[in-house]
Chain A
């Protein structure tokens, strides 16, 4: 994929930083001791919307990567 250095590197930098934020949160959650009482969880519908969004973004990325590979 031929990338425009200004626009696309900016976008890639933003993606990397956002992924790093997600990774930090997930690591913190994994290391956090289990609370005695159940923490206030977000609504199940929120979680499934989130999962759907993650899947959609991954699909979008896959599509872009495939396009780049095929020229």
Chain B
């Protein structure tokens, strides 16, 4: 059991507390002492009464704020959980895609390549570009005729 000497409103108080809690008790006594000293005039009892009322008011206000913040922190917690699950899902998908890619790299070609598909592509592209040229010319001529 720890013994602590507190000083509140100029009066000394000897109090006992659990071992290790002395610094906290001294800290609380300082808070009460500051409140009492902030109370104007009156008797010591009256000053202590007002200090107690002020501290009770502050405690109640703090409780109200905590209660208001609770739903907000709940939705934040839910958002964090959702983000975490999406991140995990994305990581799984990435892992699966990497595995698939790896398997594709390792697997031997199952069948021979189709008959040179790349040779057809440039010719299609060229044909499309030529058609684009011709249709643009047609559009210009039709615009000039109108």
A interface with B by C-beta (< 8 Å):
1-4, 7-8, 10-12, 14-15, 18-19, 21-22, 25-26, 28-29, 42, 46, 50, 53-54, 56-57, 60-61, 64, 67-68
Contacts and interface: CB of A to CB of B under 8 A. Distances in A.
Contacts of A14: 132, 135-136
Interface string B81-125: 000000000000000000000000000000000000100111011
A25 B121 contact: no
Interface in B130-146: 130-132, 134-139, 141-143, 145-146
Contact of A15 (B124, B125, B131, B145): B131
Given A19-B135, A57-B131, A8 B124 contact: yes
Contact of B134 (A7, A25, A53): A53
What 3 pairs between A and B have smallest CB-CB spacing? Answer: A11-B128, A14-B132, A21-B139
| Interface of A (DSSP majority class) | helix
Given A14-B135, A67-B124, 10 more contacts: A1-B124, A4-B122, A7-B125, A11-B128, A22-B142, A28-B146, A42-B145, A57-B135, A57-B138, A68-B124
B126 to A, nearest CB: 8
Given A11-B132, A15-B135, A53-B134, A21 B124 contact: no
B124 A64 contact: yes
B133 to A, nearest CB: 8
Contact of A12 (B128, B137, B142): B128
Looking at A7, A18, A21, the one whose CB has the most chain B CB atoms below 10 A away is A18
